[in-house]
Homo-oligomer: A and B are copies of this chain.
Amino acid sequence: MSVLVVGTTALDSIKTPKSENPRLLGGSASHAVVAASFFAPTKLVGVVGGDFPSRYITLYKKHGVDLTGLQKVKDGQTFHWSGEYEVNMNNRRTLNTVLGVVDGWSPKLPGSHETTPYVLLANISPAVQHIVLDQLSKPKFVIADTMDLWMNIALADLLRLLKRVDCLVLNDGEARQLVEEDNVVNALPKIHQLGPRYVIIKKGEHGSILSGPKGVFIAPAYPLKKVVDPTGAGDSFVGGLIGYLAAQKSGSIETHLRRAIVHGSVVASFCCEGFGLARTTKTTKAEIAARVRELEKLVKF
């Protein structure tokens, strides 16, 4: 079955202690859609400006991404984020953000997108996430990703969104902030009370935690010897996760969710090994399967 991803389609300029990489393909939807494409047919809903390089369109197409929902505003500017990482690659700071065509964007979905069963509301304003949900007809499974920014400036919209989604993905700091609870394990039931049946808390190199009706799953992260650029790892994680779910031919979401998380985690590990989408786009399904098998051995006791 197919996956619809809405989120930002951006240009990222990324500085690390070792190099500068201007105007890479980035944005939550770009990372998520490529990650999902390893498993299932994927539709991108996004907006770019006239400055969006055609080679990035080629990259989406290489992954078989349906671009009928990608709007191009000829006289507009593509969303541009620039940031800098510290030596240990754990801390980053935003140098500059230009919203461009994302500012005030109200996506209009092609008719063909209306019945997509798997929906990923990748990180973008809750207002846009609502607009997309409004145009969909009874999706089978909806995942929302978010970030602290929306808790700070659009909390009411976000809380309303949580009543409409099956699964919320956020990082540990965001989980603590959302329900004002220091202990992540204790935060989980409080987040469920806000709406989502499934909650996934991302902890970067420490893996992730799933909470759902059948309890908790502690998921490992693939142990990486070298992190080149973690930008987009969280988006790749959730993209890989929903792609894997959409690819399953039978069985319930519950049955497949743990392995879906592990597959998302593995795609995220490849994302970290190159700038922007450089490593992810070179990844093969066989490489993903090999790391999943490795992870199985790494956690067995």
Q: Which of A146-154, A220-228, A245-253 contacts B (4 or more CB under 8 A)?
A: A220-228
A18 within 8 Å of B (CB atoms): no
- Asked if A301 meets B219 with Cβ closer than 8 Å, knowing A203-B206, A206-B203, A206-B206, the reply is yes
> How many copies of this chain sit in the oligomeric assembly?
2
Task: Determine whether the beta carbon of B87 is less than 8 Å from that of A225.
Answer: no
Question: CB-CB < 8 A to A216: which residues of B?
Answer: 223, 298
Question: CB-CB < 8 A to A224: which residues of B?
Answer: 183, 185
- Asked if A223 meets B209 with Cβ closer than 8 Å, knowing A258-B301, A299-B218, A301-B258, the reply is yes
A217 within 8 Å of B (CB atoms): yes
Cα distance A262–B299 in the bound complex, in angstroms: 11
A300 within 8 Å of B (CB atoms): yes
A287 within 8 Å of B (CB atoms): no
Interchain nearest-CB distance for A17 vs B (Å): 10
Size of the A side of the interface (Cβ < 8 Å), in residues, is 35
A137 within 8 Å of B (CB atoms): no
Encode A261-281 as 1/0 by CB contact (under 8 A) with B.
Answer: 110000000000000000000
8 Å CB contact of A298 from B218, B223, B295, B298: B218
- Asked if A217 meets B298 with Cβ closer than 8 Å, knowing A203-B206, A206-B206, A209-B223, the reply is yes
In the complex, besides A186-B226, A203-B206, A217-B299, 7 extra interface pairs with C-beta distance below 8 angstroms are A183-B227, A185-B224, A215-B298, A216-B298, A217-B298, A217-B301, A296-B301
17 A-B contacts, Cβ less than 8 Å apart? A87-B182, A89-B182, A183-B226, A184-B205, A185-B225, A186-B225, A186-B226, A206-B206, A206-B207, A215-B297, A217-B299, A218-B223, A218-B298, A261-B301, A262-B301, A296-B301, A299-B299
> Which A residues form the contact surface with B (CB < 8 A)?
87-89, 182-186, 203, 205-207, 209, 215-220, 223-227, 258-259, 261-262, 295-301
